[in-house]
Amino acid sequence: MRTLPLALVALTLACGPGAVNPASILQPDVKLHHLAVRNLGLSGGTLDVGLAFHNPNKLVLKGVGLSAGLDIEGTRFGDVLLDNPFTLAANDTTVLTVPLTFRWSGVGSAARALLDYGAVNYTIAGKFTVNTPVGASFEVPFTGQGNVPLLKP
């Protein structure tokens, strides 16, 4: 029972002046900026997925990882994963390019729509991890939907 008050004091100090309070972070808006074909093969391919994050916060968010699921035309197309550090500018939009590997089996209709029409409807949902100046980290969820063009090489 004594550890609970100590933990609350530590949390209060960690979120004091100069630190990031996870509860005060506004969820960034995300849109697919573009999809670009990196390579195609018999079993699938790789797309470069441009994620445009609008950070509505008055502070820079320093991300250390990102994961999200991408649905195209209502079908799960694949998952994106970024393990590299990135920065989302305060009150601005930052475009991150993340690779997505897919297999033709299971995404046939979505892939066909993508290649035939040059633009598709999408839904994306995920989270990224942010480090704070005091060494703690927390997850920030994001979602988005819309229509995105395919950039051809």
Single-letter amino acid code for the residue at 86: F
In a domain, 98, yes or no: yes
What count of Cα atoms within 13 Å lies in the side-chain half-sphere of residue 49? 29
CB burial of 7-35 (b: ≥16 within 10 Å; e: otherwise) equals: eeeeeeeebeeeebeeeebeebebbbbbb
Q: Quote the pTM value.
A: 0.76
Which CATH number do you get for residue 34?
Answer: 2.60.40.1820
Number of independent structural domains in the chain: 1
Give the integer Cα–Cα distance in Å for 84 and 64. Answer: 6
Give me the mean pLDDT over the 57-83 stretch: 91
Quote the pLDDT of residue 152.
63
At 54, the pLDDT band (50, 70, 90 cuts) reads: very high
Give 111's pLDDT tier (boundaries 50, 70, 90). Answer: low
What residues contact residue 84 under an 8 Å CB cut-off, 6+ apart?
A: none
Reference 85, options 93, 94, 73; nearest CA is 94
Task: List alpha helices for 29-139, DSSP H.
Answer: 108-117
Look up the domain containing 39 and give its range.
Answer: 26-151
**Chain segment 6-51, per-residue pLDDT in tens:** 333 344 444 444 556 777 889 999 999 988 888 888 888 888 999 9
Q: Which residue has the higher pLDDT, 43 or 95?
A: 95
Answer whether residue 41 is part of any domain. Answer: yes
